[in-house]
Amino acid sequence: MLVDKWFGAIPKRGHIERNIPQELPQTAPKKVEVSRQVPYDMLLKGWKMCGRLSPEFYAFDLLSDMLGTGKSSFLHQEFVEKKHLFTDISASITATLDPGVFLISGRPADGVSLEKANDALDKYLYSFLKKANIEHALQKVKNSVESILLKSEIKIEDRASTLALSETFHSVERFQDDRDRYFDVTENQFVDIFKDVIVPTNETTLFYRSAEK
């Protein structure tokens, strides 16, 4: 086979022991302000979360999609379409082997200060589960993830990238049932996230101000 011909003689890399000191748990909110020569202000918020191999990762991934991926997401509908406090807002995660970060970033609308935008976002997030009906949204993002996973199996380059990343993180076999892991996520897992992770004491906020204003 061509794979054996060109790559068979390359020795398998041995196991590399990762002994990286972990950060201590955050016990109080952090806030950083910077001013730079950029065209507009940006608000960025982050909460420390689990790493890619944690069973809880899948719930965080789906929550980021529900909150801030696309124009139908909760944050876009609330702050761009309804309240006009942001011109753009999104949520994402750092899918790293080490513990990662749940991120929300947004550009306040003209005339809206970073302080006002931040206060409104905090108020919404920390009461999110009391207001939002997430049953339909959860099923929607699950279907979206399933579509992405299926599409990644079509193109050779996508399959190669997936295989390489899987081996880098752990093993190909470890990620073969990712679809089932996403579909096993329940609403109760979001309750735990807003109880233990997306809380004020675990929050880091960056006010990125435009010095041009």
Output 212 or 80, whichever has higher pLDDT.
80
Domains of the chain: which residue ranges? 28-210
132-169 pLDDT tens trace: 889 999 999 999 999 988 887 777 777 777 777 767 77
How high is the pLDDT of residue 186? 96
Across 121-129, average pLDDT? 95
- Residue range 30-71, pLDDT digits in tens: 999 999 999 999 999 999 999 988 999 999 999 999 999 999
Round to whole Å and give the CA distance between 199 and 48.
10
Residues linked to residue 119 through DSSP beta bridges, in sequence order: none
Distances, alpha carbon 167 to alpha carbons 14, 61, 137, in Å: 12, 20, 32
Nearest-angstrom CA–CA distance, 164 and 120: 41
Let me know: does 58 contact 145? Beta carbons within 8 Å: no
CA dist., res. 87 & res. 80, Å (int): 6
Name the average pLDDT for the chain.
90
Asked if the model's pLDDT at residue 190 lies above 90, the reply is yes
CATH topology of domain 28-210: Cytochrome Bc1 Complex; Chain A, domain 1 (3.30.830)
Residue, of 22 and 138, whose pLDDT is higher: 138
> What's the pLDDT band for 15 if we cut at 50, 70, 90?
low
Residues above pLDDT 90, as percent of the chain = 67
> How confident is the model over 171-197, as a mean pLDDT?
89
Is residue 1 over pLDDT 70?
A: no
Residue 213 in this model has a pLDDT that exceeds 90: no
Q: Token digits for 39?
A: 């065209």
pLDDT, mean of residues 73-95: 97
Q: What is the DSSP track for the chain?
A: -HHHHHHTTSPPPPPPP--PPPPPPP-S-EEEEEEES-SS-EEEEEEE---TTSTTHHHHHHHHHHHHSSTTSHHIIIIIIIS--EEEEEEEE---SS--EEEEEEEEPTT--HHHHHHHHHHHHTTHHHH---HHHHHHHHHHHHHHHHHTTTSHHHHHHHHHHHHHHS-TGGGTTHHHHHHT--HHHHHHHHHHTSSGGGEEEEEEEETT-
> Hey, which residues does 101 pair with through a beta bridge?
48
pLDDT of residue 56: 96
How would you write 51-70 as a 3-class SS string? CCCCCCHHHHHHHHHHHHCC
The confidence score (pLDDT) of residue 9 equals: 83
User: Is the predicted pLDDT of residue 170 greater than 80, yes or no?
Assistant: no
Phi/psi at 35 (nearest 5 deg)? -130, 125
